[in-house]
């Protein structure tokens, strides 16, 4: 059978499914991309706000995102990324601090003078200190507590990075953080696509279709099974598709719910906990402090970070308003995740006003609040995950897995998803 005759079905129209489908269609394979919701983009998707489209979750491109930038180059969209210098702040115990330069650190009152110097020196050396070490089997807490000392770990690092993985952050492999520091080493410069992420998503769809692929939305997959070397995909309306290859980009817990008993028994046995996220978008009549990213520590808020998106994307994208995201990563079973979005919007708006009262923010400055949640953002990685990581190919089945669990130790991002898509397409096209 030739590559051109083979049919691949890709489940999930997030960046991983889009990039995989783009690669396979370009290689001449027959591709059908199935997205359950009525929109493509997955976690990078958007919603209509007034007469424009706005991302539900804050997103930016890093200068080190080589896989993503390579893909955008192929689509003719690389020049659509607008790069800007961005700044970081830190709010600790309600007090605001800039956090960008050596001078900022020397003036950073939450730490004593010696810890400030130690923090700066270790942070500069951290990438080098991790080289050649087995950080995959080293607990983040053990590594960072040892290097920075108890005070910095407990007062700053545990709450700051722990917000991503919850209370078990200290147990996550130190390798994850080390990789993250690598991705964000050029942290001052960030990119945002002209026309928003929708322009990238539209570009991918156009490319897939122009290479003969089929992109379908509002088609939730209800069941998948494998019969010999063929895959059988049943959609919610009972339509059945058959394929030579099935690529699933949906998270492993979701896929387990879709697989029939026979296929489920062949899936990786590892049960990973996943973090979800709650995001509130504040459309403001005025700017805040000019810091793109501000971790919020022990300041009486339910959210633990603030992203001043307009510092990167400008205000034109939001009809002259300043867009600010507030976020909290949390388990999908938590009380916060289950809470009604309107209640979260009202409470977080009050907390935002209190947090920025010092610069004169009032409730009247908030024109609109929108709340979005996502149940599966990324797994909470266990120690030694490199050896337990599920393989992409599910043995003796036509199924390939391309999920956020497969990008480890890279940070979950559009860039790492595109890298994973490249690997999956490489397997299927024998590139």
Ligand X SMILES: Cc1cc2nc3c(=O)[nH]c(=O)nc-3n(C[C@H](O)[C@H](O)[C@H](O)COP(=O)(O)OP(=O)(O)OC[C@H]3O[C@@H](n4cnc5c(N)ncnc54)[C@H](O)[C@@H]3O)c2cc1C
Binding site for ligand X (CB under 6 A): 11-17, 34-37, 42-44, 57-60, 220-221, 249-250, 254, 258, 277, 279, 327, 374, 377, 404, 412-415, 417
Are 186 and 62 spatial neighbours (Cβ–Cβ below 8 Å)? Answer: yes
HSE of 414, CA atoms in CB hemisphere, 13 A:
32
Closest CB 268 distance from ligand X, rounded Å: 17
Report yes or no: 216 and 239 within 8 Å, Cβ to Cβ: no
Taking CB positions, which residue lies at the least distance from ligand X?
42
Nearer to ligand X, 66 or 93 (CB): 66
Provide the token pair at 68.
């993503």
Query: What's the closest the beta carbon of residue 412 comes to ligand X, in angstroms?
Result: 4
Closest CB to ligand X among residues 16, 297: 16
Of 38 and 51, nearer to ligand X (C-beta) is: 38
Spatial strand order of the sheet with 293-297 comes to 95-98, 89-92, 293-297, 305-308, 322-330, 274-284, 366-379
Residue 216 or 338: which CB sits closer to ligand X?
A: 216
Question: Residue 73 is encoded by which pair of tokens?
Answer: 């180059």
Q: Provide, rounded to whole angstroms, the least separation between the CB of residue 414 and ligand X.
A: 4
| Nearer Cβ to ligand X (279/397) | 279
* Nearest distance, CB of residue 211 and ligand X, angstroms: 19
Bin 239: left if φ > 0, else alpha if -120 < ψ < 50, else beta.
beta
Other CB atoms closer than 10 Å to residue 417's CB: what's the count? 29
Which residues, other chains included, contact 289 with Cβ-Cβ below 8 Å and sequence gap of 6+? Answer: 89, 96, 308, 356, 359
Quick one: 72 or 374, whose CB is closer to ligand X?
A: 374
Q: What is the DSSP track for 1-50?
A: --GGG-EEEEE--BHHHHHHHHHHHHTT-EEEEE-SSSSSBGGG-EEEET
What is residue 156's three-state secondary structure? helix
Query: Taking Cα atoms as reference points, which of 409, 415, 380, 382 lies closest to residue 162?
Result: 380
Give least dist CB 39 to ligand X, A. Answer: 8
* Residue 90 near residue 99 (C-beta atoms within 8 A): yes
Give whichever of 16 and 135 is closer to ligand X, judged by the CB atom: 16
Nearer to ligand X, 101 or 334 (CB): 334
- DSSP lists the bridge partners of residue 372 as 279
- Rounded to a whole number of angstroms, the minimum distance from the CB of residue 390 to ligand X is 14
Q: Please report how close the Cβ of residue 43 comes to ligand X at its closest, in angstroms.
A: 3
Shortest distance, position 98 Cβ to ligand X, whole Å: 21
């Amino acid at each position: 059978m030739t590559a051109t005759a083979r049919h691949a079905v890709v489940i999930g129209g997030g960046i991983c499914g889009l990039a995989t489908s783009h690669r396979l269609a370009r290689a001449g394979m027959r591709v059908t991309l199935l997205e359950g919701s009525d929109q493509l983009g997955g976690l990078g998707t958007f919603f209509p706000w007034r007469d424009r489209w706005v991302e539900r979750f804050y997103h930016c491109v890093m200068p080190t995102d080589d896989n993503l930038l390579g893909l955008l180059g192929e689509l003719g969209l690389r020049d659509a990324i607008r790069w800007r210098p961005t700044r970081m702040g830190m709010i600790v115990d309600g007090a605001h601090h800039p956090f960008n330069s050596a001078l900022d650190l020397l003036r950073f009152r939450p730490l004593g003078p010696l810890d400030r110097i130690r923090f700066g020196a270790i942070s500069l050396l951290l990438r080098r200190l991790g080289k050649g070490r087995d950080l995959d089997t080293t607990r983040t807490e053990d590594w960072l507590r040892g290097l920075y000392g108890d005070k910095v770990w407990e007062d700053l690092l545990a709450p700051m990075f722990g917000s991503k993985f919850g209370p078990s952050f200290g147990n996550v492999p130190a390798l994850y953080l080390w990789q993250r520091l690598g991705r964000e080493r050029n942290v001052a410069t960030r990119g945002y696509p002209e026309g928003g992420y929708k322009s990238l998503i539209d570009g991918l769809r156009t490319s897939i279709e122009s290479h003969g692929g089929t992109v379908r939305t509002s088609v939730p997959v209800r069941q998948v099974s494998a019969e010999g070397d063929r895959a059988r995909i049943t959609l919610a309306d009972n339509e059945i598709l058959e394929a030579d290859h099935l690529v699933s980009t949906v998270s492993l817990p979701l896929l387990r719910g879709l697989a029939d008993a026979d296929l489920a028994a062949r899936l990786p046995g590892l049960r990973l906990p996943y973090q979800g996220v709650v995001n509130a978008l504040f459309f403001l009549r005025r700017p805040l402090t000019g810091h793109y990213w501000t971790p919020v520590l022990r300041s009486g808020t339910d959210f633990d970070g603030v992203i001043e998106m307009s510092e990167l994307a400008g205000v034109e994208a939001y009809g002259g308003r300043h867009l600010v995201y507030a976020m909290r990563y949390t388990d999908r079973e938590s009380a916060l995740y289950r809470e009604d979005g309107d209640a979260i919007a009202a409470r977080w708006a009050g907390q935002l006003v209190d947090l920025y009262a010092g610069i004169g923010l009032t409730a009247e400055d908030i024109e609109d609040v929108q709340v979005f949640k996502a149940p599966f953002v990324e797994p909470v990685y266990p120690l030694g995950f490199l050896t337990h990581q599920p393989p992409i190919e599910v043995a003796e089945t036509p199924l390939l897995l391309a999920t956020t669990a497969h990008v480890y130790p890279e940070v979950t991002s559009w860039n790492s998803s595109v890298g994973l898509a490249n690997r999956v397409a490489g397997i299927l096209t024998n590139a």
